[in-house]
Amino acid sequence: MASRGSFSNKLGFILAAAGSAVGLGNIWKFPFEVGNGGGAAFVVLYLTFCFILCFPVMITEIAIGRKTSLNPVGAFSALGFKNWNIVGKLGLFCGVLILSFYNVVAGWAFGYFIEMLMGNFEIGQAFGEYIKDIFKVGAYAIVFMFSTAFIVSKGISGGIEKAAKILMPTLIVMILGLVVYAMTLPNAMKGISFYLVPEFSEIDMGVIGGALRQAFFSLSLGMGALITYGSYVGKDDNIVSSAAYITLMDVGIAFIAGLMIFPFVAFNLGGDMQQVTEPGFGGPGLIFVTLPGVFENIGGVLGILVGSFFFLLLSFAALTSTVSLLEVPVAYVVDEHKVGRTKAVWLVAGVIFLIGIPSLLSGGYSEFFSNFSRIIGVADTIDADFLSFVAATADVLLLLGGCLIVFFAGYIWKKHNLNAEIAQGYKGYDNSFVKTFLNFAITILCPILLALLFVMVLLNNFFGISII
Ligand code: PHE
């Protein structure tokens, strides 16, 4: 254990895991998914999924990690089920896919921080041109991968935990400051009511699937990120309460991010929120196109300050997530191939950067990668560019991974083993309601619903077939 490293205490773990969860998913993806999903109805579904379906998956992942003190691939083998390490491999693959495109978007965000500092508010209108300029965005992506690798190379307590302990509180303070400011803008309340007053007639398969995908992605579930972080958790920590804090922080920050973004968007649209739901308006560009205009309207030094502050915040949030994404394959290479951490980190980071190049080219620079989904004949429920295609693929794989992990815990490893691991560090667990709910969730609720929803999302996203 000593040579693998560990978190120094429960708070360190919670902050690092919340750092993994809170990221571009909360601040970049959540608002445009809410826009696509028609507003508040999406939010209600998302919250329900987080607490009912995702929370049990999170506890299971952490418990598997802590029990085995290993990466996701090694963990399944160490529990005695070598064939099941395919689930770990699937997670590893999925993590590599996510980091490959996520790093590109994180690079955009970091680049926007620099542009805002220079007072370049026109960048929002020129977003299309900006992401086409692959030397510029490529350089930002390199800087981002480099920073991620640097932190991961410093190890668990000295790198990942330390970064989270600085970045997470900073992020929370920044985001609260921006919410207070956003609320003072004209039309702020129109944005808030779009966000918070549900229109249940809007719910269809696209909205349900979108909310579930968002819940999984946002909580970093289904690919073993939390198996990996769980492997560095102390034996006397309470897994259930840690998972509760992580979930609450992630959901809380996504929710608060909405309170910041929607007033900004409403301000920019003069209160006409209908536009947000129109195809082509939202999408990956939503905050990159809309927000610079808001900061320009604020004007002057204040505009520069608020704008650069926002994109710095986004970069910080992304960094604690890219760190967790890189840690998964690194832990695998260190544990299973006995390579030293530093060497493993730089090697894996380099390879994943290369895998991300098609995503980097898919913002208009390469015709082929920019129209990838249409060229290979995927339904137009997914945006045409390669980056969106990879993101959508990863999303469905997370659902599959989550489903297999709970199924494994419930029926293969068996729930009494899971319960025994959770009971360590949680005194009253054996007679608790949490135990009853969790056992029901991992044997019945989650495997069935996740399997069903996985198939439905797959059909809907990739083939345009909608069952409801
Ligand atoms: N949860 C992160 C976010 O919301 C993304 C992520 C997914 C990180 C999966 C790790 C694993 O931005």
**pLDDT tens, residue by residue, 79-97:** 999 999 999 999 999 999 9
Å from CA of 270 to ligand 1 middle:
32
Does the C-beta of 225 come closer than 6 Å to ligand 1? Answer: yes
Residue 112: strand, helix, or coil: helix
pLDDT of 204 reads 85
Structure-model confidence comparison of residues 446 and 194, the more confident one: 446
> In the structure encoding, which two tokens stand for residue 276, read together?
């947000």
Does the C-beta of 214 come closer than 6 Å to ligand 1? Answer: no
Relative to the CA of 221, which ligand 1 atom is closest? 9
Å from CA of 298 to ligand 1 middle:
31
Does the C-beta of 325 come closer than 6 Å to ligand 1? Answer: yes
Does the C-beta of 399 come closer than 6 Å to ligand 1? Answer: no
Give the closest residue to 277 by CA, choosing from 169, 195, 340, 217: 195
**pLDDT tens, residue by residue, 278-335:** 766 666 777 898 889 889 988 889 999 989 989 998 999 999 999 999 999 999 999 9
Does the C-beta of 306 come closer than 6 Å to ligand 1? Answer: no
Structure-model confidence comparison of residues 416 and 210, the more confident one: 416
> Please, which contacts does 292-298 make with residues 24 or more away whose CB atoms are closer than 8 Å?
292/112, 292/115, 292/116, 292/121, 292/122, 292/123, 292/124, 292/125, 293/121, 293/124, 293/125, 293/268, 294/185, 294/264, 294/265, 294/267, 294/268, 295/116, 295/121, 296/121, 296/122, 296/124, 297/267, 297/268
C-alpha atoms less than 13 angstroms from C-alpha of 217 in its C-beta half-sphere: 29
Q: Are 335 and 4 in contact (CB under 8 A)?
A: yes
Contacts of residue 149, Cβ cutoff 8 Å, sequence gap at least 6: 326, 345, 346, 349
| pLDDT confidence tier of residue 121, bands split at 50, 70 and 90 | very high
Relative to the CA of 325, which ligand 1 atom is closest? 10
Percent over 90 (pLDDT), the chain: 78
Cα dist. 139→97, 134, 231, 313 in Å?
20, 8, 34, 20
Structure-model confidence comparison of residues 89 and 169, the more confident one: 89
CA separation for the pair 335, 316 (Å, rounded): 28
Does the C-beta of 99 come closer than 6 Å to ligand 1? Answer: no
Contacts of residue 205, Cβ cutoff 8 Å, sequence gap at least 6: 456, 460, 466, 467, 468
Residue owning the nearest CA to atom 6 of ligand 1: 220
Residue 466: strand, helix, or coil: coil
Does the C-beta of 257 come closer than 6 Å to ligand 1? Answer: no
pLDDT of 381 reads 83
Å from CA of 10 to ligand 1 middle:
20
Does the C-beta of 94 come closer than 6 Å to ligand 1? Answer: no
Residue owning the nearest CA to atom 11 of ligand 1: 220
CA separation for the pair 45, 284 (Å, rounded): 21
pLDDT at 2 over 50: no
Does the C-beta of 187 come closer than 6 Å to ligand 1? Answer: no
Q: With both helix axes pointing from N to C terminus, report the angle between 85-117 and 386-407 in degrees, rounded to the nearest 10.
A: 140
Please tell me the total number of residues recorded for the chain in this structure: 468
Rounded mean pLDDT, 457-466: 88
Å from CA of 318 to ligand 1 middle:
8
Relative to the CA of 225, which ligand 1 atom is closest? 11
Query: Average per-residue pLDDT in the chain?
Result: 93
Å from CA of 253 to ligand 1 middle:
13
Rg (alpha carbons) of the chain, rounded to whole number? 21
Ligand 1 pocket: which of 217, 249, 322 to mutate (most atoms <8 Å of CB)?
217
**pLDDT tens, residue by residue, 432-456:** 999 999 999 999 999 999 999 999 9
**pLDDT tens, residue by residue, 375-407:** 999 988 888 999 999 999 999 999 999 999 999
Å from CA of 274 to ligand 1 middle:
29
Residue owning the nearest CA to atom 10 of ligand 1: 220
pLDDT of 279 reads 63
Does the C-beta of 25 come closer than 6 Å to ligand 1? Answer: yes
Give the closest residue to 4 by CA, choosing from 157, 206, 124: 157
Rounded mean pLDDT, 417-435: 97
Give the closest residue to 378 by CA, choosing from 283, 468, 461, 456: 461
Give the closest residue to 393 by CA, choosing from 227, 213, 220: 213
**pLDDT tens, residue by residue, 317-332:** 999 999 999 999 999 9
Give pTM, 2 decimals: 0.94
| pLDDT confidence tier of residue 466, bands split at 50, 70 and 90 | confident
**pLDDT tens, residue by residue, 222-281:** 999 999 999 999 999 999 999 999 999 999 999 999 999 999 989 988 888 888 777 666
